[in-house]
Structure 1
Amino acid sequence: MAITEDASTPSPFAGGGTGNLFCPNFSPPAGSLLVALVGAGNGSATTSISVTDSTGGTWTLAGQAQGASPHFGCAAVYYRYLTTAPGSMNVTASFTNLGGGRYLAVRVLTGVSPTQNSATRGGSVITGASNPTATVNTTASGSYLYGIGVDNGANDTLSAPNGTVTLIDAFQDSGDACAAGSVRTAACTATPGSQAIGVANGAHGGLVAYMEVLPATTSAPIQRTWTTGEVVTDAEMTSNIQGPVNWLLGAPRTVITSTSGLTVASGAVPSLITTWNQAVVDYSNAMWDPNNPGILVNHTAGRYELGLYLHYPYSANAGMYHVGINLNGNGTWNSSGTRIAEDTRTGSVNSALGTSLEITTNQYLNAGDYVAFYTAQTTSGSLTVPGNLFSMQASARWIASS
C-alpha cells in the first residue's frame, strides 16, 4: 500500500535553551513507522542526540550529521516500527553539549515495510556557500525520503531547496542563532535514482540527516501440497484454505479516475496522464499515491490485468486517437520503459457521440514495478475528456501468482 502520514502524527515541537525535548502525546496505529527528525543548534563541543519514548521502545539511528568548531550542533533521524498499537505515548529527544535551539518532529507513517533496510540513509556536514542539502540515490519505487536540515550558525529562514522536496515545518531561534526544518520528498519515488533532500537557507552551510522510507510489500498465498491420507486439522484449514480464500476475495485491485478531466493538445506523441485524482477502488495493494498521481506502483508480485479507458468528445476535425500503457518508464512514451499495450484509431467526424478507446492487457509485475498511462490525439485542436468514471479510468487487478 502507498506510504501515508497517519492522522495521529503529533505536531512538531521546538524551543530555545537546553534540556530534553518532548513531543505531544499521540496514539499511533499498529503497523506504523515512527520517524523522529531531530535538530540541535550551536553547541560548545561535539553535539549528539538520542531518542526514547514513554513505552520503552527501541529506536534505530538512521543517519546523523555532527557539526565542528565553531558551529557544532547535530541533525539526526531515528525510527521505530510498531507491530502493535501502543496506545497514548510520547517521544523524547535528549542532547549532549547542546548550546541552544532544539527541534523535534515525529512522523507516523503507514503503508511501510516492517524492515527498513534501505542503504539510503545518513548525514552530511555542508560547509561553504551551499545549502544544507544532500543528493542521494533512492532504491525503491513507492519510497519517500525524510530528512532534517539544521542551520547551526544562524537563524536563517528555511525553505524547501526545490520543487521535489516539501518543507514539513521549520523553526528559527534568534536567541541561539540556529534554525531547523523537517522535510520529505514531495512525491513517492517512481524511478529510483538521484534525489535531493534537505533545506535551503541562503547557501550558508549547515547539517542534514535523512533516510529512505520503504513501502510495504505483500505476497500471494503459496499453494499447499496435500498428501494421501494426511489428517486435515483446524489449523491447516485456517492457514491453507480459509486464509488464501479470504486473500483472494480481497486481492489487490485499483481503479482510478479524474474528477477534473483531461485536456489533450493536438500532437502525435503520447503524453503522460497526470490528472488522476480519485481512487474509486484501492485495496489490499493500494497502488495509487495522490502525491505521484501519474503512476500505479505495485507492492505484491503477480500477474495483473491492466486497463485504460478514455472517451474523447466529438470533434468536427478528422484525426487519430491513441492510448497506451507503459511499464517502468520515466514519463516519456517514446524513449523509456516498455510499452505493454497500445491502440490507435481514427475518430469519426460523422458521429456526435465522440470516440472511445479501451485497452486491456495482462502483465507480470514484480514488487516495485510501476505502470503509467498515456494518450494523444491529432484533430488540430485541444480536446477535453470529461472528468468522471464513465469518461476516463485506469485499473490494475491481481489475477494470478505467475
Structure 2
Amino acid sequence: MATVPVPRTWTVGELLTAAKLNADLRNGLNFLLSGKPLASLAKTTNQSVPNSTFTVVTWNSEIIDRDGGHDNATNNSRYTSQTAGWYRVVAHLVWNANFTAKIRQTNFVRSAAQAYFLTSGFGDADGNNGSSTAVGLIFLSVGDYLEVHGNQASGAALDITAPNTHFDLEWTSS
C-alpha cells in the first residue's frame, strides 16, 4: 500500500530542518515521481470470447505493478486497489480477424457491481483485426477491484489476441 503524503502546514517562526524537508518535500516528490500506484497488465496468450457474452478478461503478464494490486495466478482478471483514490484507466482489446458483425466492446466493472465506460469498436471492412478501447477516471477504495470485460457479436467465439491487448491504471489523486 502506497502512503499518500499529507502536505505540511508551516507556522510562522518554525525552524526548518533537514528532517522536516525530507519528510515534507522529498517524500512527497518521491511519491509523485516514482511511488504512486501504477500498473500495466498484458496478455501473452489469446483468450476466446463467446458470441454476445460479456466476458472477464484475464491478465497473465505484469509490465509494472508498483502497488501490488495484481496477481498473475490468483484472480488474474482483477486489479485490487491497495491505495484509495482516483485512477486513470485504459483497456485496449485487440480482436482476431473476422468478416461478420464487426461489433467489439470493452467495459470496466468495479467489484463485480457496476459497469463503467462501455465503448464499442469495429473490425475493419476487410476482416482485419478489430479493437475496442475504454478509457476513464474511476474512484477505487482500498479493496475495490477493477476488471475489464469484452464482448463481440460475430456469431461465434472470437479471440482477444496477445500481445497488444493491455490494461493500464495510474493513481491520479486521493
Q: Same fold (TM over 0.5)?
A: yes
User: Unmatched 5+ residue regions in structure 2?
Assistant: none
Q: Which residue of 1 aligns with 2:54?
A: 270
Q: Which residue of 2 aligns with 1:400?
A: 173
What is the TM-score of this pair, normalised by structure 1? 0.41
Q: Which residue of 2 aligns with 1:243?
A: 27
Q: Deviations over 1:214-269 (max 9, x none)?
A: xxx443111112234543211111000011111222211111111112112212x3
Q: Is the 8 A contact 1:219 1:301 kept in 2?
A: no
Q: How does 1:157-306 map to 2 (within 5 A)?
A: 217-250=1-34, 251-267=36-52, 269-274=53-58, 276-283=59-66, 285-290=67-72, 291-306=74-89
Q: Which residue of 1 aligns with 2:119?
A: 343
Code of the residue aligned with 1:355 in structure 2: it is G
Q: In the aligned structure 2, how far is the partner of 1:244 from the partner of 1:321?
A: 41
> Once superposed, which parts of structure 1, at least 4 consecutive aligned residues long, lie more than 6 Å away?
none
> Which of the pair is proportionally richer in helix?
2
Q: In the aligned structure 1, how far is the partner of 2:20 from the partner of 2:173?
A: 22
Q: How does 1:2-401 map to 2 (within 5 A)?
A: 217-250=1-34, 251-267=36-52, 269-274=53-58, 276-283=59-66, 285-290=67-72, 291-329=74-112, 337-348=113-124, 350-388=125-163, 390=164, 392-401=165-174
Other structure's SS at 1:240 match? helix
User: Unmatched 5+ residue regions in structure 1?
Assistant: 1-216, 330-336
Q: CA RMSD in A?
A: 1.6
Other structure's SS at 1:247 match? helix
Q: In the aligned structure 2, how far is the partner of 1:351 from the partner of 1:236?
A: 63
What is the TM-score of this pair, normalised by structure 2? 0.90
Q: In the aligned structure 2, how far is the partner of 1:229 from the partner of 1:340?
A: 50
Q: In the aligned structure 1, how far is the partner of 2:56 from the partner of 2:97?
A: 22
Q: In the aligned structure 1, how far is the partner of 2:45 from the partner of 2:94?
A: 14
Q: In the aligned structure 2, how far is the partner of 1:339 from the partner of 1:382?
A: 22
Q: CA deviation at 1:384?
A: 1.8
Q: In the aligned structure 1, how far is the partner of 2:156 from the partner of 2:172?
A: 39
**CA radius of gyration, larger in:** 1
* Higher RCO (C-alpha 8 Å, min separation 6): 2
Q: In the aligned structure 2, how far is the partner of 1:281 from the partner of 1:261?
A: 20
Q: In the aligned structure 2, how far is the partner of 1:305 from the partner of 1:273?
A: 18
Identical amino acids, percent of aligned pairs:
22
Q: Is the 8 A contact 2:121 2:131 kept in 1?
A: no
Q: In the aligned structure 1, how far is the partner of 2:128 from the partner of 2:24?
A: 51
Q: In the aligned structure 1, how far is the partner of 2:62 from the partner of 2:48?
A: 20
Q: CA deviation at 1:318?
A: 2.3
Q: In the aligned structure 1, how far is the partner of 2:69 from the partner of 2:94?
A: 24
